[in-house]
Structure 1
Amino acid sequence: MANSLHIKKGDLVRVTVGRDRGVEGKVIEVDPAKGRVFVEGANRVKRHTKVVQGGGRQGTTGGIVTQEASIPVSNVTLLVEVDGKKVPTRVGYERREVEKTRADGSTYKAFRSVRIARKTGEEI
Structure 2
Amino acid sequence: MSKLHIRKDDTVMVLAGQDKGKTGKVLKVLVKENRAIVEGVNMVSKSTKPSAKNPQGGIVKQEAAIHISNLSLIDPKSGKATRVRIEHEGKNVKRIAKKSGEEIK
Which stretch of the first structure deviates more once superposed, 40-49 or 113-122? 113-122
Q: Give the TM-score normalised by structure 2.
A: 0.87
- Identify the residue that residue 74 of structure 1 maps to in structure 2: 69
Q: Give the TM-score normalised by structure 1.
A: 0.75
Is the partner of 2:69 in helix, strand or coil?
Answer: helix
Query: 4+ runs of 1 displaced by more than 4 Å?
Result: none
- Identify the residue that residue 83 of structure 2 maps to in structure 1: 90
The Cα RMSD (Å) is 1.7
- Taking the aligned partners of 1:42 and 1:111, their CA distance within structure 2 comes to 34
Decide which of 29, 40, 58 is 1:63's aligned counterpart: 58
Contact 2:76–2:102 (Cα < 8 Å) also in 1: no
CA displacement, residues 37-83 of structure 1 (integer Å, 9 cap, x when unaligned)? 1111110011110124xxxxx5742121110000100001111132x
**Is there any run of 5+ residues in structure 2 with no aligned partner, and where?**
none
Amino acid at match of 2:85: G
Does 2:15 match 1:20?
A: no
Percent of pairs identical after alignment?
44
Amino acid at match of 2:42: N
- Taking the aligned partners of 1:59 and 1:47, their CA distance within structure 2 comes to 15
- Identify the residue that residue 48 of structure 1 maps to in structure 2: 47
- Taking the aligned partners of 1:78 and 1:67, their CA distance within structure 2 comes to 22
- Taking the aligned partners of 2:86 and 2:97, their CA distance within structure 1 comes to 9
Decide which of 114, 117, 121 is 2:94's aligned counterpart: 114
